[in-house]
Amino acid sequence: MQFGIIGSGSWGTALAKMLTDNGIAINWCVRSPEMVKHIIKRHHNPNYLTSVTFDIKLLSLFTDPGEVIKKSDHIVIVTPSAYVAPLFHRITAKDLTGKKIISAVKGMIPQYNLLLNEYLRHKYNFSIEDYFTIMGPCHAEEVAAERLSYLTFSGISLSAAKNIAVNFNTPYINTIVNNDIYGVQYAAILKNIYAVASGIAHGKGYGDNFLSVLIANAADEMAGFLRKAGIRNIRVGVHKTAKLNERKSPNYAASVYLGDLLVTCYSPFSRNRTFGSMIGKGYAVASAQIEMKMIAEGYNASRSIHIINKDVQAEIPIAQAVYEILWKKLPVSKGLKIIEDSLV
């Protein structure tokens, strides 16, 4: 396998670390020629996870995503969802022939309200058989510190997903596989919205007791949306095997669903929680975005889920309140009151 990574933010840098720590050479599309020069000279990303050093012999650096796609057969897309459509602007269906796309994108393509696999299918007739996802719970900062983390790889073919996942196994990364491509992506999108809600409450001065109830209800709300959307693995505590030495079958109490929700809502590393906290403290959306200097996927995701839910018709009062606060300028106090009244 020849891996390519498109994206040089914190998570792209973390994924590059995993592969190169295993001695795997990669093609890496980074942001600018200046970044290329810095990495070659100093052996680290100048802007993200600066403590991570790379063996330069394992890096082929580019600034053109088309070059990485051309030279790689397994391409990891790890850019903010809002940048995906511009990224593929000059890519043709022929360029993607015979390629495997591995999505580490935790958002919908906001220009189209589509998951990445749906966008690729509509634009390029790209087969879902050649599409895989990497999802958490896994903060890039803890990867940099080599603290044990878990990643879930999803694909229609479990054997193909396993063949990809093994390349990311390290002493600090354990990998899990499933074939719930739609479920893991929607869960990742929704958990970012709920992390914004958690941050808003925290910024407004609510305590841990309230946050625990909020997040418990968010987990139930997420499962309800996924169920209404026709996605499986809903039942909690029900498994296909009872053998202690075998991994349980996935459900929404598993790490990629509930685990990712918890860490994104609670962790100080969570950019969505940080963004929400700033909103709770009185920042305008634009001001919070400028000060953060990073993309909070929950912002665009709240609008995308609002639109999609017109068809899904799930009960999502927490996500809807976040949408109203961020996009309709609903006062934070009123939005939190709506959330409070929905909690059980």
Q: Cite the residue boundaries of each domain of the chain with CATH code 3.40.50.720.
A: 3-179
Give the separation between CA 96 and CA 120, rounded to whole angstroms: 10
Average pLDDT (248-261) is: 77
Other C-beta atoms closer than 10 Å to the C-beta of 141 total: 15
273 pLDDT more than 80: yes
DSSP string spanning 214-235? HHHHHHHHHHHHHHHTT-----
- pTM (2 decimals)? 0.91
Give the separation between CA 117 and CA 128, rounded to whole angstroms: 7
Q: Which phi and psi angles does 257 have, rounded to 5°? A: -105, -80
Strand partners, 62: 29
Tokens representing 12 are 């792209």
Judged by DSSP in three states, 62 sits in strand
Average pLDDT (130-146) is: 94
Tokens representing 339 are 């959330």
Instruction: For strands 149-155 and 131-135, give the pairing.
Output: antiparallel
Label residue 248 left, alpha or beta by phi (over 0 means left) and psi (-120 to 50 means alpha): beta
| Percentage of the residues of the chain whose pLDDT score is greater than 90 | 84
Taking the chain, what is the end-to-end CA distance rounded to the nearest angstrom?
Answer: 49
- Predicted confidence at residue 255, as pLDDT, reads 83
Q: Write down the residue that tokens 């919205």 correspond to.
A: 193
| Percentage of the residues of the chain whose pLDDT score is greater than 70 | 94
* Model confidence pLDDT, tens digit, residues 51-65: 999 999 999 999 999
Instruction: Kindly tell me the burial class for residue 180, based on how many C-beta atoms sit within 10 Å of its own C-beta (0-12, 13-18, 19 or more).
Output: buried
* Residue 26 and residue 14 in contact, taking contact as beta carbons nearer than 8 Å: no
* Residue 282 and residue 325 in contact, taking contact as beta carbons nearer than 8 Å: no
Residue 293 binned pLDDT confidence (cut-offs 50, 70, 90)? confident
What radius of gyration do the chain's Cα atoms show?
Answer: 20
* Residue 121 and residue 128 in contact, taking contact as beta carbons nearer than 8 Å: yes
Q: Write down the residue that tokens 């869960």 correspond to.
A: 187
Judged by DSSP in three states, 48 sits in coil
Of the candidates 236, 201, 162, 191, which has an alpha carbon nearest to the alpha carbon of residue 342? Answer: 201
240 pLDDT more than 80: no
Burial 221-244, CB ≥16 within 10 A → b, else e: bbbebbbebebebeeeeeeeeeee
What would the CATH number be for the domain defined by 183-342? 1.10.1040.10
Q: Cite the residue boundaries of each domain of the chain with CATH code 1.10.1040.10.
A: 183-342
Tokens representing 72 are 């790689």
* Model confidence pLDDT, tens digit, residues 171-196: 999 999 999 999 999 999 999 999 99
Give the separation between CA 219 and CA 214, rounded to whole angstroms: 9
What would the CATH number be for the domain defined by 3-179? 3.40.50.720
144 pLDDT more than 50: yes
Residue 244 binned pLDDT confidence (cut-offs 50, 70, 90)? very low
Instruction: For strands 74-77 and 149-155, give the pairing.
Output: unpaired
